């Protein structure tokens, strides 16, 4: 029997509605975006955050915040389904998370970075994602509790920020699944 592609309606019937999503327990993952310059990347991160059902997205510095048509173009409505806040600086967002008892982890190449695929990860966790060119600022890296990186096997040292975030957040969800089903 050949593989059959499901219809949009079949897929939609298996998803939460925006209203029902308000009462769903979200995964214990918070995300800090520090100075993301591309509104299309911000929108893509919103959309991935919706798919991952993260707890909260914290936009910092000059990271654009909704409503913006450039964000909406790639977010496809996720700005309405992902809880988010704006902070003037990422250090403010880190303080906010640490007051809630959240461990903060930089997604960055550091001397102390651990391989995200194999490391033990504490939850709840706040994942800091940085600027497309400069990454996470030194001051923010220093304020984090730990650092992780995605193993790179080719010539390039990094992925697009929205792609890296997608890889990282779904790896974190897999770690949560493994912790709940040993």
Per cent of the chain over pLDDT 70 is 99
Q: Which CATH superfamily is domain 25-180 in?
A: SPOUT methyltransferase, trefoil knot domain (3.40.1280.10)
Q: Which pLDDT band, with edges at 50, 70 and 90, does 182 fall under? A: low
pLDDT at 165 over 90: yes
Whole-angstrom CA distances from 89 to 26, 29, 34, 65, 95 are: 25, 19, 8, 13, 10
Q: Where are the domains of the chain?
A: 25-180
Tokens encoding 133: 């060119």
Q: Could you give the CA distance from residue 171 to residue 148 in angstroms, rounded to a whole number?
A: 12
What pLDDT score was predicted for residue 132?
Answer: 97
109-138: per-residue pLDDT in tens?
A: 999 999 999 999 999 999 999 999 999 999
What pLDDT score was predicted for residue 174?
Answer: 97
Q: Is the distance from CB of 127 to CB of 31 less than 8 angstroms?
A: yes
Per cent of the chain over pLDDT 90 is 93
Q: How many CB atoms lie within 10 A of CB 14?
A: 7
Q: How many CB atoms lie within 10 A of CB 180?
A: 7
């Amino acid at each position: 029997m050949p593989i059959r592609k499901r219809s949009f309606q079949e897929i939609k019937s298996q998803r939460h509605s925006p209203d029902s999503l308000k009462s769903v327990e979200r995964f214990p993952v918070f995300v800090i975006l520090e100075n993301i310059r591309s509104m299309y990347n911000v929108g893509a991160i919103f959309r991935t955050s919706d798919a991952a059902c993260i707890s909260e997205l914290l936009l910092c510095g000059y990271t654009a915040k909704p409503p913006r048509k450039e964000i909406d173009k790639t977010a496809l409505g996720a700005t309405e389904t992902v809880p988010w806040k704006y902070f003037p600086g990422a250090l403010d967002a880190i303080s906010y998370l640490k007051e809630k008892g959240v461990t903060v982890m930089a997604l960055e190449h550091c001397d102390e970075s651990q391989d995200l695929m194999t490391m033990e990860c504490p939850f709840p966790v706040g994942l800091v994602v940085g600027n497309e060119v400069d990454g996470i600022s030194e001051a923010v890296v220093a304020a984090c509790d730990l650092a992780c990186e995605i193993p790179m096997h080719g010539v390039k040292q990094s992925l697009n920020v929205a792609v890296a975030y997608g890889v990282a957040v779904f790896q974190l969800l897999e770690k949560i699944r493994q912790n709940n089903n040993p």
